[in-house]
Structure 1
Amino acid sequence: MLSSSAARAKQLNSSAPVNYVAGLGRGATGFTTRSDIGPARMSAENDEAGKLNDSKFDEFAGYQGSLFDQMPYDEDDEAADRVWNEIDAHMDERRKSRREQRIAEQLSQFRSVRPKLQHQFTDLKRDLQQVTEQEWNDLPEPGEHRKHSAAEKRNERYIPAPDSLLEKARQEQEVVHSLDARQMQTGGMETPMTGLQTPFTDLKSIGEARGAVLSVKLDQMSDSVEGQTVVDPKGYLTDLNSIKVSTEAEIGDIKKARLLLKSVTSTNPGHGPGWVAAARLEEVAGKLVAARQVIREGCRACPASEDVWLEAARLQTPDNAKTVLAEAVKKIPQSVKIWLHAASLETNVTMRRRVLRKALEVIPNSVKLWQASIDLEGPDDARLMLGRAVECVPHSVDMWIALARLETYQNARKVLNRARETIPTEPQIWITAAKLEEANGNIDLVDRIIEKAIKSLSLHQVDLEREQWLNEAETAEKGGAARTAQAILQNTLHLGIEEEDRKRIWMEDAESFVARSCPECARAVFAQALSTFPTKKSVWLRAAQHEKSHGTAASLDALLRKAVSFCPHAEALWLMGAKEQWLAGKVEAARAILNEAFLANPDSEQVWLAAVKLESENDEPDAARSLLSKARERCGTERVWMKSVLLERNLGENAAALEMLAPALKAHGKYWKLLLMKAQIERQLDLVDAARETLARGVKVCADCVPMWLESSRLEEALGSVSKARSLLEVGRLKNVNAPRLWLEAVRLERRAGNKKAAATLLAKALQQCRTAGILWAEAISMEARAQQKSKSSDALKACDNDPHVILAVSRLFWRERKEEKARSWCNRAVTLDPDLGDAWANYFAFESQHGTPEQQAEVLRRAVAADPHHGDEWTAVSKNPRNLRCSTDELVKRVAENMALNKYEMEALEKIG
C-alpha cells in the first residue's frame, strides 16, 4: 500500500476530472478559449452546420450525406408513402370528433370566463319582447344630447362686421333723389362702369322674386272657374313615391343588358324572344315609349312570331292593342293565342262572340276556340255548335260528352255510340254511357256497359292501371253514380295483384274509400271480397261494421243473415244480429236468432250468456235461470257459474247465491271472481268469520290478484283492525311488486286513519316504486295544499303526461280556479285518452252542468253512451250497486257526476273569489 504522501502526490499530478472548473467553490466561472477547442473541432462543427442548413435539404433524400440519398425513388416507395398518408388521414378522421369536441369544450369554458359583449346583454335583449307598441312609439327620437363644455363655449368668438361692409350695404340700400356733380356735368347720361366693381347682392329682392314665381305657379294650378286648387296632395305624394330612383349599379346593368340585346336583335333579327326581352328591358327601365318602339321593330322583323305580337299588344292601351292584334291575325291567321287574346279584349259579349266565330272560320279544328265560343252561347245554340264541333274536332272527348249532356236520353245514347265508334280508346265515353243508363233507371245495363268497356279497351290495347280505375270509381260516386262506381270496382279490383295478397289489399282499399267519404265504393269492395272469401269471418265482421255505420237496419240484417249462413260457427255474427234486433225493440226476433245460434253452436258460452242477458234485461228471471241451468250442464265454464251466482245476487237471493257458490268453487276453486263474490255475499249476510276465511283462502290461492288483497284489507279496516289491514297491504305489495292500486289503498288507509304524515311518506315511496303510475300522481295532487298543487301537477305531467287520471286531476284544478276554457279542454283530453274511464265522463258532465250549455251537456252524454265506459273508482261504486243495475249509461253518468261535482265548501270559496 502507498503512503498517504505518495497517494497525495499521485492525485496532484493526475488530469482534472470532466467539467472541472478551477475556483468554482470561491465563485469563479468557467470559460473556454479557442485553444481548448482547436481548429479541427471548429472545422468539423462548421462542416456539420453547413450540411444542415435549409438550402441543402431535400424533401425525399433529406440533408446531404444521408445514408439513402443515392437510392432511386421508385413506384414501391410512392405506393408506400400513399398508404402511410391514407393511414394518417384515417387516424386523423377518427380523432376528428374528439378533437372538435375538445375544442368546443375549451371554447365554451373560455366563453364562460370571458363572454362576448353581445352575450352579456342577452337577458336585457330578451326583455325587449315584452315592450308594447305604444312604448316603442313613446321612445324619443335620437338627437344631440351631449352637454357642451365650458371650454367649447370659451372657444366661441364673436367677430363684428367691419364698418366698411356696413357702409357699403347702407349705400346700396340708399335711395338717391338727386344727381351728383359728375352726372350733372354730363347731363346725367353717364354710363356706369361695369366689370370694375362688384355690387352687393340684394337678398330681399331675390326673395321677393322667388315668391312672385311661386305665386304664378300656384295660379296656374288653380281652377279657372272656382278658384280652388286642383292639386291632390295624397296623389302628389303617391306620384313622388312611384318615381324609381335607380342606382349607378342598376343603370350600369341596364346599359350592359341593352347592348347585349341590341347585339342579339341585330345579328339575328328573326329571333322573336330577343325582341321581347329588349322591349321588357326598356319597360323595366321606365321607358315605355322606347319599349313600344322596340317591339314595333320586332313585329316588322318577326311577323310570324305570335309571342312578339302578343307582347306588342300587352304594351299598348286596349284600343291600340286591338289594332295591333288585327294586324297580327293578318300576318298569322292560324294563331289560336292571338285570336283568343283579341276576343278577351272585347268588353261586349256580342263582339267577343263575333271574333271567336271569325276565328273558327279560319281555324275550324281548334278545340280551345270551340270551347271558348260555346261557353258564350245559350243551351240551344250551344247544342247546335257542339254538333258542328264534334264534326270539326272528332278527337275531342269533352266535346262529345258535353253534347251528350245537352241532348235528350235517346239522342245522348246516339251521340255516345258515335263517340265510341270515333274514339274507341277512350274509357270516359264508356263511363259516361254507364252513368247515363244509371240516371235513367237502367241499372242492369250499367254492369254490361262497364264489362263491355273493359273488353273493348283491352282489344284496342288500352290497359289502364288499377289505381286509375279506382280513381274513376271514386269520381263516379262523388258525381252521384254509385252503381257505376260499384260496377267499375267489381270488374277491376283484381287487376295487378297476386292471389295471396287480395284479401289484405282489398281491406286496405275499403278503409281508404271510407276515409275519402266513399261508402258505396267500400261496400262494393266488401262485396267483391265476400264473394271471393265467403268463409272468412273477419271479412264478414268488417262488412257488418261498415253496414252498421253507413247502411240501414234492413241491409245490416240481410248481410248478417247471409254471413251466418256461410259462417255458422262465428258466434260474433250471431250475437251482433241478436243485439241489433234487441236494440231495435224486436225481442222476439232476437230470441229467434239466438235459438238458431244454439242449434249451430250448442256448447258456445257466449251464445248462452247472450240469451241469459236478453231474458234478464227483459224481466224474465225464470227463463234466465232455466237457460243458465242448461248452460251449466252443457258447458259449465267459469263465466257461466259466475253469471248464475250474479243473477241470484241481483235478484236479492243471497242465500241461493251462496248455496250455488259451493259447487261452483268445487269445479273452479282458483277462479278469483267466485271467491270474491262469496266473500262479499258472506259480508252482506254478516258472516264476518266466513268472509275472512274465504278471503284468506283467496289471497293464498290467488296471490297475484290485487282486488283480493284490497277486499281483505277493507274488511279488516271495517272491523276496526287498521294494523291488520296495513299488514295485509304490505304483504300484498311484497307479492305484487309493481301494483300501484295496493300503494294507493295503503295511502288512503292512512289518510282515513288520520295519519297524514304517514300517508305522505308512503306516497313518496310509492312514487319511487311506480314512477309512471297516474293514479298515484293524481292522489299526490289532491293531497297537496292548494298553493302547491300547480307544481305537483307539473311534476305529474313530466312523469306521465298522457295518463287520463293525471289529466282528470289537472282538469279539476282548473275547474277550481274558474279557468273554464282550460278545464273544458283538459276534460275533453281525459275522455279522449281513455274512453273507458267512467270517472272522466262523469267529471266532464259535472263541469258542463255548472258551466256549459244544454247543447254541450247533451253532446257529452252522447259521446259517453257511444264510449260505454266500465272503469273508474266512482263509476264502479255506482254501477255495481244493485239499485243501479237497470240504469242506462247516460243515467249512470249523471249519478256519478253528482258525486264528482265540487262540494258546497269549494263552491262557497269560489264565490268569494269571484
Structure 2
Amino acid sequence: MMRPPPAPGTKVDYNALKAPSNYVPGLGRGATGFTTRSDIGPARSGPVGGDGDKEGGGDANPDENKFDEFMGSDAGMFAGGQYDEDDREADRVWEEIDNFMDERRRERRERLMKEQLEKMRADNPKITEQFADLKRDLAQVSAEEWEGIPDVGDRTIKKRPRFMAVAAAPDSLLSKAAAASQMDTSIAVDGLVTPAGAATNADLTAIGEGQRTVIRLKLDSMADSVSGQTVIDPKGYLTDLSSMAINSSSEISDIKKARLLLKSVITTNPHHGPGWIAAARLEEKAGKLQVARGIIAEGCEKCASNEDVWLEAARLQPPDMAKAVLARGVANIPTSYKLWIAAARLEADDAAKQRVLRRALERIPGSVRLWKAAVELASEDDARVLLSRAVECCPTHVELWLALAKLESYDNAKKVLNKARQAVPTDPSIWITAAKLEEAQGNNDMVGKIVSRALKSLQSHGVVIAREAWLKEAEAAERAQPACVLTCRAIVGEVVGLGVEDEDRRRTWMADAEEAARRGSIETARAIYNATLAAFPGKPAVWRAAAALEKQHGSRQALDELLKRAVSYCPQAEVLWLMAAKERWLAGDVPGARAILAEAFAANPDSEDVWLAAFKLEFENDEPQRARALLAKARETSTASTARVWMKSAIVEREAGDAAAERALLAEGLRRFPGFWKLHLMAGQLEAREGKVEATRAAYAAGLKRCPDCVPLWRAAARLEEAQGNTGRARAMLEQARHRNPKQPELWLAAIRTEQRAGSTKAAEALLAKALQDCPASGLLWAEAVAMAPRPQRRTKAADAMKRCDNDPHVIAAVASLFWADRKIDKARSWWSRSVTLDPDIGDHWAQLWKFEGQHGTPESAANVLAKAAAADPHHGERWVRVAKDPANAHQLVDVLLKKVVVDIDTLPPP
C-alpha cells in the first residue's frame, strides 16, 4: 500500500526512509548491472517470514499476478492507469500508420526476398533441377533403346567368396535328374486298389483318344440332318480354335463388363450401327464367332440403312454367305459404292467382277471410285469406252479426262483435253498435259504457247498462280517418262519471276536453282539459271554457279558453250577465263586452252592469275622454255611482277636443276619481297640440298627475322638443328616459336615428334598433355594422342577426341585406323570414307583409304578411290606434301603420287 503523504510544512529526510519492497535502484535511469523484472522477475526476492510464505500457503511471486494482457509485465508500473477510448483511438491511428509504412516497403522487401531465394536456389540446386535436361531427353528414347539397356547385375567384389570349391556331381544325382526330365505316359490312380493291393496305371494316350472321340461325336451331333448342311463351318471352327488365346480371369471380367455395356447401348438405341459392330467384334474377340454373327445379323435388321453394319456382317461370314449378305445390303442401300466394291472383290474372276461393277454403275453413275475400279479391270479398248462414258457422268473429275486422253490418239486426245478444259477451266494439270502432248509429238513451238495461255486463262478464271507449286510441276515434268524437258523449261520461264521483288530476284532464283539441283532436278535448275543469266548477264557469280552445275551434271560441250558466253558478257572476270582454259586443257585441247588464255591476256593484261595460268599450262605440258619466257615477261611487267611470279620462276629453275639461276632468282625476289616467307623457305631448302648447313641456317634465320609468325619456317629451322644433332637447340627453338605464336597445333606437334625421335617418351607425353590444354579443339593433336596412347587406352582416348572435335577429319581418320586394327572392316571403310568426305584436300587420308581398299576391298573399289582422289586433287597432308614437293616427283599425276604416299607410310616415320 502507498505511504501517506507528509503533513504540510514538514521536512522529510528521504535518505532515512525505508525503501519500498520492490524498489530497484537506478532502474528508471537505465542503469546496468541489475537483473530486471522484464527478464526473470523482480530483482529482489519477497520478504521472508510473511504470512504463510514458508509454509506454501502464500504466493511465492506475487508480482506475477500483475501481468496484464494488454500492458504485459509492466502493468505494475501503471496499475492505476485507465485504458479509455482516446487510448484506443490513438493505438488505432498508429496501427494504420504502421500498416501504411509497411505497404510502402512491401514491394522492395518482396523483391529482395525473391532475389535472395533465387540466389539460394542457384547456389544450392535440387537434385531434380540438376537432372531436368536429362529427364527431358528421356522423352526421345525409343522403346528399342529402353529394351537394349543392359542390366546392372551384381558388380560388387566385396561379398564374393575368395575361393569357390567345385566338386563333380555323383552319378546318382545325374541319373535322377535325367529320369525327372523324361515324360511318363502313364499315371498311378490313387484310391483304386486291386484286391491284391497293387496300384492300377491309367494310360494317358488312351485318355487322349477318348477325348478326341467325344469331341468328334459332339461335332457330328451338331449337324443339321434336315437341310444336309452343317450349322458350323468346320474349317472356320478349326481356325477359330487355333487362334483362340487363353484369357486370364481379369480379361474375362473385362469382356463381361464390355458385353453388359454394349448390350445397354444397343438396347437403348437399336438404330446405332457402331454399337452393333462393337458388340459383334467383342464376341469375335472372345472366340464366340456364331454369337458375333447373330448379333451383327440382328444389327442388319435394325440398321438396314447403315453400310458399315452390312460390311461387318459380310466380313464375319464365309465367302459364299458374304455374297448373300452383300446382296441384301445392296438391296437395302443401292447407292452405296462401298457395298458394290466389296461385292466385286468377293468374285473369283475378273469377268464376274466387271459384271458387278457395271450393275453398280447403272445404279450409281456418278461414283468416281466405281468408274476407276471398272477401268482397272477392263482392257484398253473397253477402258476407252468406259472412260468416254465416265467423263459424261463425272465431267468435273480431271483424272478421268486425263486417263481418257492418255488412251486416245493424238487428234482425239486434243479434243478430249479441249473438252476437259471447258468442263474444268480452273485446273492447271489439263494445260500441262496438253503441253506434254505437244512435246511428245515434236511440236516444240507449241509448248511455250500452251503454258503462256494456261497462265492467262487460269488468272482470268480467278485462279491464284502459286510459284512454288508450278515449279514443282516443272520438276514433275522433268521426272516424267519420257522426260518433258521443254515443258519444264517453259513452266520455269513463265513462273520463276512471279511474286519476287526486283531486288530479291538474283538471290531467290539462285537459291531455287541450288535446291532443285540438290533434289536431283537438273533441268529445272538449269532453266532457273538460264532465266537468271538472262536477267543478270553481267554477274560472274551466276555464271560460275551455272558452270559448276554443267561441270557436274552436263556435257563438256555444254560447259564450253556456257563459258564462251560467260567471258563474252564478263570479260574482266579472270576466274571465268581460267575455268574456260582449264576445261579445254582437261579435254586435251592444249592449243584451244592457249587461245583462250591469249584472249584473257588481251582482256586482262595485268592479271597475275592469267599469267600464272598460262605458265602452269606450259609447265605442266613439258614446255619449260615457254614457261620461262612467260615468267620472264611477267617479271618485266610492273603490275604482274609479284612474289608468286618470282617463286614460280625459281621453281622452274629448280626443276631444271640450275641451282645458280635459282639462287639468283630467289635473291632478287627476296630483295623485292622480303616479307614473302615461301621465298625464304625455298632459299633454305636450296642450301640444304647442296649440303651447306651454315648457309641454310642463315637463310632460315633471315626468314624468321622477317616472318616471325611463319610456322613452316620455325619447323624447318628446328628440323635442321635436329638433323645436325642439336636436339636441345631444336627443342629451344620450338619453345621460342610457341612463345611467339601461341595456340599453334603444328608447333606443338613438331615438338612432340622431336621428343619421340630423341627417344624421350615421357617428355613427349608431357608435351602432348600441355598441347591439349593449349589447343583443346585441335583434331591434329587429338589424332596424335590416339596414336600415342597404349593399345588398351586408345578407345577411351578416341572417345574423348570425338567429344572435343567429332567432325574433324584427322580424328575420324584416327578412329578409322582403330577399326582397321581391330579387323572391323565395314566400320573402318565407313570412317575412312567420312574422313575424305569432310576434307577431300588431305592426301594422306586418300592414300590410307586406297591402301585399305587394296587389302580388304575389290579392284573396282580401289579404282573408284583413285578416281575420286584424282577428282579431288588434294594438296595437303604431312606425307603428301613431302612426296609431292620432292623434285623427283614433279609433274606426276595424282594416282602416281597416291601410290608413292602409301610407300612413304609403310617405310618412313612421320615428318
The TM-score, its normalising length taken from structure 1, stands at: 0.75
Q: Mind listing any 5+ residue stretches in structure 1 that lack a counterpart? A: 1-8, 25-29, 50-64, 109-120, 128-168, 175-202, 225-229, 905-914
Are 1:521 and 2:518 counterparts? no
What are the within-5 Å matches in structure 2 for residues 327-726 of structure 1?
Answer: 327-479=328-480, 480-634=483-637, 635-726=640-731
Distance change (3 Å), C-alpha of 1:405 and 1:70: same
Are 1:35 and 2:58 counterparts? yes
CA deviations 1:537-576 (Å, max 9, x no partner) are 1111000000111111111111111111111111111111
What are the within-5 Å matches in structure 2 for residues 761-800 of structure 1?
Answer: 761-780=766-785, 782=787, 796-797=801-802, 799-800=804-805
CA deviations 1:814-835 (Å, max 9, x no partner) are 5455554554444334333332
Distance change (3 Å), C-alpha of 1:803 and 1:519: closer
Output the CA distance in 1 between the equivalents of 2:767 and 2:211: 96
Are 1:238 and 2:267 counterparts? no
Indicate if the aligned counterparts of 1:743 and 1:766 stay in contact, CA closer than 8 A.
Answer: yes
Tell me by how many angstroms 1:13 deviates: 13
What are the within-5 Å matches in structure 2 for residues 42-61 of structure 1?
Answer: 42=65
Indicate if the aligned counterparts of 1:803 and 1:833 stay in contact, CA closer than 8 A.
Answer: yes
Paired residue for 1:325?
Answer: 326
- Which shows bigger deviation, 77-86 or 594-603? 77-86
Indicate if the aligned counterparts of 1:843 and 1:901 stay in contact, CA closer than 8 A.
Answer: no
Tell me by how many angstroms 1:340 deviates: 2.2
Are 1:124 and 2:146 counterparts? no
SS of structure 2 residue aligned to 1:662: helix
Indicate if the aligned counterparts of 2:388 and 2:404 stay in contact, CA closer than 8 A.
Answer: yes
Output the CA distance in 1 between the equivalents of 2:571 and 2:92: 100
Are 1:95 and 2:96 counterparts? no
Tell me by how many angstroms 1:762 deviates: 4.4
SS of structure 2 residue aligned to 1:496: coil
Of 886, 896, 899 in structure 2, the residue corresponding to residue 881 of structure 1 is 886
Output the CA distance in 2 between the equivalents of 1:329 and 1:641: 95
What are the within-5 Å matches in structure 2 for residues 811-830 of structure 1?
Answer: 811-812=816-817, 815-816=820-821, 818=823, 820-830=825-835
Indicate if the aligned counterparts of 1:560 and 1:577 stay in contact, CA closer than 8 A.
Answer: yes
Output the CA distance in 2 between the equivalents of 1:565 and 1:89: 72
Residue type of the alignment partner of 1:571: E
Indicate if the aligned counterparts of 1:847 and 1:901 stay in contact, CA closer than 8 A.
Answer: no
Indicate if the aligned counterparts of 2:807 and 2:838 stay in contact, CA closer than 8 A.
Answer: yes
Output the CA distance in 2 between the equivalents of 1:502 and 1:672: 44
CA deviations 1:130-177 (Å, max 9, x no partner) are xxxxxxxxxxxxxxxxxxxxxxxxxxxxxxxxxxxxxxx99x999xxx
SS of structure 2 residue aligned to 1:703: coil
Tell me by how many angstroms 1:666 deviates: 2.6
Output the CA distance in 2 between the equivalents of 1:392 and 1:14: 124
Paired residue for 2:165?
Answer: none
Tell me by how many angstroms 1:615 deviates: 0.9
Output the CA distance in 2 between the equivalents of 1:45 and 1:772: 78
Indicate if the aligned counterparts of 2:265 and 2:275 stay in contact, CA closer than 8 A.
Answer: no
Tell me by how many angstroms 1:591 deviates: 0.9
Distance change (3 Å), C-alpha of 1:248 and 1:873: closer
Output the CA distance in 1 between the equivalents of 2:465 and 2:312: 42
Output the CA distance in 1 between the equivalents of 2:195 and 2:763: 110
- Which shows bigger deviation, 243-252 or 364-373? 243-252
Paired residue for 1:130?
Answer: none
Distance change (3 Å), C-alpha of 1:678 and 1:14: closer
Paired residue for 2:267?
Answer: 262
Matched residue pairs, number?
784
Residue type of the alignment partner of 1:550: H
RMSD: 4.7
Tell me by how many angstroms 1:66 deviates: 8.4
Tell me by how many angstroms 1:594 deviates: 0.8
Paired residue for 2:745?
Answer: 740
Output the CA distance in 1 between the equivalents of 2:889 and 2:516: 42
Indicate if the aligned counterparts of 2:240 and 2:287 stay in contact, CA closer than 8 A.
Answer: no
Of 860, 868, 871 in structure 1, the residue corresponding to residue 865 of structure 2 is 860
CA deviations 1:564-608 (Å, max 9, x no partner) are 111111111111111111111111111111111111111111111
Indicate if the aligned counterparts of 1:846 and 1:900 stay in contact, CA closer than 8 A.
Answer: no
SS of structure 2 residue aligned to 1:878: helix
Tell me by how many angstroms 1:357 deviates: 1.3
Residue type of the alignment partner of 1:509: D
Distance change (3 Å), C-alpha of 1:691 and 1:749: same
Distance change (3 Å), C-alpha of 1:310 and 1:89: farther
How high is the sequence identity, in percent, across the aligned residues? 47
SS of structure 1 residue aligned to 2:58: helix
Tell me by how many angstroms 1:250 deviates: 3.8
Q: Mind listing any 5+ residue stretches in structure 2 that lack a counterpart? A: 1-15, 25-41, 73-86, 131-149, 157-191, 219-233
- Which shows bigger deviation, 689-698 or 451-460? 689-698
Output the CA distance in 2 between the equivalents of 1:122 and 1:20: 77
Distance change (3 Å), C-alpha of 1:319 and 1:614: same
Tell me by how many angstroms 1:69 deviates: 10
Paired residue for 2:144?
Answer: none
Tell me by how many angstroms 1:358 deviates: 1.5
Indicate if the aligned counterparts of 1:258 and 1:281 stay in contact, CA closer than 8 A.
Answer: no
Output the CA distance in 2 between the equivalents of 1:278 and 1:72: 78
Indicate if the aligned counterparts of 1:703 and 1:735 stay in contact, CA closer than 8 A.
Answer: yes
Output the CA distance in 1 between the equivalents of 2:635 and 2:503: 43
The TM-score, its normalising length taken from structure 2, stands at: 0.75
Residue type of the alignment partner of 1:692: R
Output the CA distance in 1 between the equivalents of 2:299 and 2:682: 101
Output the CA distance in 2 between the equivalents of 1:213 and 1:744: 86
Distance change (3 Å), C-alpha of 1:398 and 1:102: same
Output the CA distance in 2 between the equivalents of 1:218 and 1:365: 57
- Which shows bigger deviation, 664-673 or 397-406? 664-673
Indicate if the aligned counterparts of 2:46 and 2:61 stay in contact, CA closer than 8 A.
Answer: no
Paired residue for 2:736?
Answer: 731
Indicate if the aligned counterparts of 2:259 and 2:279 stay in contact, CA closer than 8 A.
Answer: no
Output the CA distance in 2 between the equivalents of 1:498 and 1:638: 45
- Which shows bigger deviation, 586-595 or 763-772? 763-772
Distance change (3 Å), C-alpha of 1:857 and 1:252: closer
SS of structure 1 residue aligned to 2:269: helix
CA deviations 1:672-691 (Å, max 9, x no partner) are 11222223223334554444
Output the CA distance in 2 between the equivalents of 1:551 and 1:482: 14
Indicate if the aligned counterparts of 1:339 and 1:356 stay in contact, CA closer than 8 A.
Answer: yes
